[in-house]
Amino acid sequence: MIRLEKRPQPSRFWTAATPVVAVLATMVAGGILFAALGKDPFVAIRTIFWDPLFNEQFAAFSRPQLLVKAGPLILIAIGLSLGFRAGIWNIGAEGQYIMGAICGAGVALAFYPLQAWWLFPMMVMAGALGGWAWAMIPAILRTRFNTNEILVSLLLVYVAENILASMSLGLLRNPQGSGFPGSRNLQQYPSAANPELIAGTGMHWGIVAAFIAVIFAYVLLSRHIMGFNIQLAGQAPRAARFAGVSPARLVIFCLGLSGALAGMAGLFEVAGPAGQITIDFNVGYGFTAIIVAFLGRLQPIGILLAGLLMALTYIGGELSQFMLGLPAAAIQAFQGMLLFFLLAGDFLINYRIRVGRTAVV
């Protein structure tokens, strides 16, 4: 007889081992998937995880891209992790990312072709404010009407995508673009561009902001009373209320901060690697950041490492599509497997499997 037995205390071993086991299980399951598609699984896994970093044919291009891809993932995941720790589930970071990009780019295009040092800082503030404002919708609905922030924030992603399409075809469309959708290229507008700070590294202001966010989150969680309130609310909600923690204030703070960071990520992306507002500007960073947050165990340093790993799967996935002809959907499924195995491993943190009277794990 197989049964589940709740552990008296969460397993410290599985808490530490789950991310590693999830990555290994993803490689195995991904290898099976690639084999079913008629590709050599060992070559596919090597192309995704090894070649972007150590194959000299590709590394010169791939290594700088590691930071370019990791920056928005880390920045968004840091904001999400604070809410997740408090039991506040912002699933709509993709929409906040989009709105931050629209607001930041809108400021730049409103002042085009002005050359001024203060324009880019104003764009960053506008991007953060756009993401914050979009996150305030589920926050206010949660605190005032007790709505479910998961559903509201998720559905607002589709609203943001339609606003993005409208802006690309209307208000922000390049008047010199021959009628094609999309805004002016901000990389060609020096005061609004987010270029590489060190040539050949991929380092831009978005990467700097991501590292600052990691440090800020670490200090907040380990040294500040708000960090204590966040952790207490997530682990013992009733005790948090008895301790005087305001649930409404916590919802406003966590959703607002995660929205602002997602909005900043969108601004840094549209002013840097993406370059312009287009219909297909968003590439799923807001959703992938959820995987990054959990893979990093909701810890700032863990999220930094998880962001780099997920960025590697992006770069390796693109390389495998080019070199091996793998479909993009297979790479997305491969990334999704990581979250699946991570959540499956998390189950073993609180439960052990018993066969008869013998514990298996």
CA atoms of 295 and 289, how far apart (whole Å): 10
CA atoms of 316 and 312, how far apart (whole Å): 6
Position 358 confidence tier, pLDDT thresholds 50, 70, 90 = low
**pLDDT for res 348:** 83
In a domain, 126, yes or no: yes
**pLDDT for res 7:** 83
Among 128-132, 185-189, 196-200, the minimum mean pLDDT is found in 196-200
Percent of the chain having pLDDT more than 70? 98
For residue 125, what is the enclosing H or E element? helix 119-145
∠ CA 103-207-333, nearest 5°, is 85
Q: Over the stretch 288-301, which tens digit does the pLDDT of each residue have? A: 999 999 999 999 99
Position 176 confidence tier, pLDDT thresholds 50, 70, 90 = confident
Count of alpha carbons within 13 angstroms of residue 29, beta-carbon side: 17
The CATH number given to whatever domain includes residue 275 is 1.10.3470
User: What is the DSSP secondary-structure string of 32-82?
Assistant: HHHHHTTS-HHHHHHHHHTHHHH-HHHHHHHHHHHHHHHHHHHHHHHHHHH
Q: Over the stretch 34-91, which tens digit does the pLDDT of each residue have? A: 999 999 999 999 999 999 988 888 888 888 889 999 999 999 999 999 999 999 999 9
In a domain, 192, yes or no: yes
**pLDDT for res 360:** 58
* Number of domains the chain is built from: 1
Q: Residue 3, exposed/middle/buried by CB under 10 A (0-12, 13-18, 19+)?
A: exposed
Does the pLDDT value for residue 210 go beyond 90? Answer: yes
In a domain, 119, yes or no: yes
For residue 4, what is the enclosing H or E element? strand 2-6
Q: What is the mean pLDDT of the chain?
A: 91
Q: Over the stretch 14-28, which tens digit does the pLDDT of each residue have? A: 888 888 899 999 999
Q: Radius of gyration (Cα) for the chain, nearest Å? A: 22
CA atoms of 6 and 310, how far apart (whole Å): 32
Does the pLDDT value for residue 207 go beyond 90? Answer: yes
In a domain, 188, yes or no: yes
Does the pLDDT value for residue 2 go beyond 80? Answer: no
**pLDDT for res 357:** 61
Q: Span 330-347, mean pLDDT?
A: 87
In which domain, by residue range, is 296 found?
65-308
In degrees and rounded to multiples of 5, residue 6 shows phi and psi of -70, 135
In a domain, 343, yes or no: no
Number of H helices and number of E strands within the chain?
A: 14, 3
Q: Over the stretch 104-157, which tens digit does the pLDDT of each residue have? A: 999 999 999 889 999 999 999 999 999 999 999 999 999 999 999 999 999 999
This prediction has a pTM of: 0.92
In a domain, 47, yes or no: no
Does the pLDDT value for residue 359 go beyond 70? Answer: no
In a domain, 220, yes or no: yes
**pLDDT for res 345:** 84
Position 5 confidence tier, pLDDT thresholds 50, 70, 90 = confident
